[in-house]
Amino acid sequence: MAQFAPSGCSGNAPIKPAAPPSLGLGANPRLVAYVTAAKYCHHRPYYRTEDILLRRHRVHIPRNTLCHWDKVVADTLDSLYKLIRHSLLQTGNLQADETPIKYLDPGGGKCATGYLWVIHAPRNGIKGDILYQWHPSRKATCLDDLLGNYQGFLQTDAYAGHDSWTSGKTGIPSSPAGRTPAGNSTKPSRSARPSPPAPSPPSSGSIR
C-alpha cells in the first residue's frame, strides 16, 4: 500500500490514501497491490491468479473483477503518469527506445506484436525517471504521443523511425557527439561510427 509523508514533517505518521471506491467492497489496497504486482512484475496472467486465490485461500475472485481492478489502478495513477512525463520532457536530454511485446488480439486467432516505448532522462550518470508507453506498432507516429512537442537532445539507436520523426523539426540547437537533437535528422548511425584503430606492432626490442 502506498504511503506518503508530508514534506518537512519526518516525525509525523505517513499518509495512507484510501482505496478508490470504484474498486468495490471486496477490495483493499493491499490485495489490489498484490494482484497488480503479480501481473506486471511477475508476468502472471489473471486466470492463474484467480486459480491461486481459490486453491490456496478459498477465495474466488473472477477474472473480470481483476481486470476491473487493473483499470481502476491505471485511472488512479494517470495523474502521476502525466506528471512524470511532463517532468521528463522538460529535461532537454532524453534517451528513447522500444521493445516488442506479444499481446492478445481478440478475433485474430493468434498473438499480435506491439511495442513498449520508453524514455529515460539520465541524471549525472545515474538512473533517472523512466516512462513506458505501449503502442500496437513501431511507427514513427507513436513518438508524437510519447514525445509531443519535445525540444532537446534525443539519444536513440539506429532505428530509422527516430530519424523519420525528427525530420522537418526546426529550432533545435546543435548536437554533441553521440547525441541527436530532436529536429535534426543527421544522427550518427551504428554503421557510421569509426572503427577502433588497429593495435601498433611491437618494437623489435620487445620481442623475446
Residue 12 inside a domain? The answer is no
Residue 13 inside a domain? The answer is no
Average pLDDT for 71-85: 92
d(CA 164, CA 172): 16
Number of domains, the chain: 2
Query: Domain containing 28: what range?
Result: 21-76
Do 95 and 188 lie in one domain? The reply is yes
Q: Tell me 4's DSSP state.
A: B
What are the φ and ψ backbone dihedral angles of 79, each rounded to 5 degrees?
A: -65, -40
Assign residue 152 a region: left if phi > 0, alpha if psi is -120 to 50, beta otherwise?
left
d(CA 22, CA 53): 22
d(CA 159, CA 5): 43
What does pTM read for this prediction?
Answer: 0.67
What's the pLDDT at 42?
A: 94
Residue 135 inside a domain? The answer is yes
**Mean pLDDT of the chain, nearest integer:** 77
What's the pLDDT at 200?
A: 53
Do 137 and 69 lie in one domain? The reply is no
Could you tell me the three cell numbers for 19?
A: 482505496
Percent of the chain with pLDDT over 70: 70
Rounding to the nearest 10 degrees, give the CA dihedral for residues 105, 137, 116, 140.
-170
pLDDT-based confidence at 204, cuts 50/70/90?
very low
Residue 204 inside a domain? The answer is no
Task: Identify the H or E element spanning 58.
Answer: none
d(CA 109, CA 114): 16
Tens of pLDDT, residue by residue over 27-42, are 888 899 999 999 999 9
530519424: which residue's cell?
Answer: 163
Q: Choose one of 45, 76, 107: the last residue of a domain.
A: 76
Q: Is the Cβ–Cβ distance between 32 and 23 less than 8 Å?
A: yes
What's the pLDDT at 17?
A: 61
Tens of pLDDT, residue by residue over 11-28, are 556 556 666 777 776 788
Do 110 and 64 lie in one domain? The reply is no
Rounded to the nearest 10 degrees, what angle do helices 29-40 and 63-76 cross at?
Answer: 100
Is 115's pLDDT higher than 80? yes
Do 55 and 126 lie in one domain? The reply is no
Residue 153 inside a domain? The answer is yes
Do 113 and 30 lie in one domain? The reply is no
d(CA 67, CA 71): 6
As a whole number of Å, the end-to-end CA separation of the chain is: 68
Please state, as a whole number, how many other Cβ atoms lie within 10 Å of the Cβ of residue 131.
18
Give the residue with greater pLDDT, 171 vs 124.
124
What's the pLDDT at 182?
A: 57
